[in-house]
Amino acid sequence: MIFIGICGASGSGKSTLAESLRSALGDRCLVLQQDCYYRDHSHLPFEERTRLNYDEPAIFNHDELLADIQALMQGEAITRKGYNYAEHRRDDTDELITAPDVLILEGIHSFHDPRLTALMYLKLYVEVDPDICLLRRIERDIIERGRSIESIADQYRNTVRPMFFQHIRNYIKDADVIVAHGGRNARIVEILTGYVSDELHKRQQA
């Protein structure tokens, strides 16, 4: 199995790039979102859950994510994890996910755990101007997650921007490829698809 990691700031186009690669590679490719591995805080009151820092590395269950990646790489099935952004709680299912030929993990801290990055065949960092990322985040959070502009602004000032400068921008040093202009870079998608397809063919012939 070829394991690819995609990292970058919130709103940089990680999900778009991952889905573009999945579409180009077809059914042999699976995308996992690191967001689905937020630690479960459903035991906390809703108002307290809204005040958590969802942009710091420790908010994710890195051990659980690593265990699922390792299981897939060993050919084992896992259950699909999920997250409800409106209610700020985990939303896992019993749906089984079988091991694909190509696995893509995308998330703001997908390069945080060295145990995980050591397993990645290819590490992609999506680099986009911060103002573009902010505009994309506002649009996404309002339309897809039912957030108010006030809550988006507060979160951006209090956690998103500080965590980007403290952690996320530094992951670029771990990347094999820096993807400019976000996930809609058709040329890089074409190049990466060809590269991964060639590697799959080599492995199948070995």
pLDDT tens for residues 55-114? 999 999 999 999 999 999 999 999 999 999 888 999 999 999 999 999 999 999 999 999
pLDDT of residue 186: 87
- 51, two tokens: 């005040």
Angle ∠(149,87,51) on CA atoms, nearest 5: 65
CA 143/CA 136 separation, integer angstroms: 11
CA 46/CA 154 separation, integer angstroms: 17
State the average pLDDT for the chain: 92
Residues of the chain with pLDDT > 70, as a percent, come to 100
pLDDT of residue 173: 97
pLDDT of residue 144: 75
CATH (domain of 132)? 3.40.50.300
- The secondary structure of residue 84, as a DSSP letter, is E
pLDDT of residue 182: 73
- 122, two tokens: 């290819």
For tokens 């602004």, the residue is 153
Structural domain harbouring 24: 2-205
pLDDT of residue 55: 93
Tally of domains in the chain:
1
Q: How many CB atoms lie within 10 A of CB 37?
A: 25
CA 44/CA 2 separation, integer angstroms: 38
CA 86/CA 88 separation, integer angstroms: 6
How confident is the model over 178-199, as a mean pLDDT? 90
Core vs surface per residue 146-178: b (16+ CB within 10 A) or e: ebeeeebeebbeebbbebbeebbeebeebbeee
Query: Is 99 within 8 Å of 28 (Cβ atoms)?
Result: no
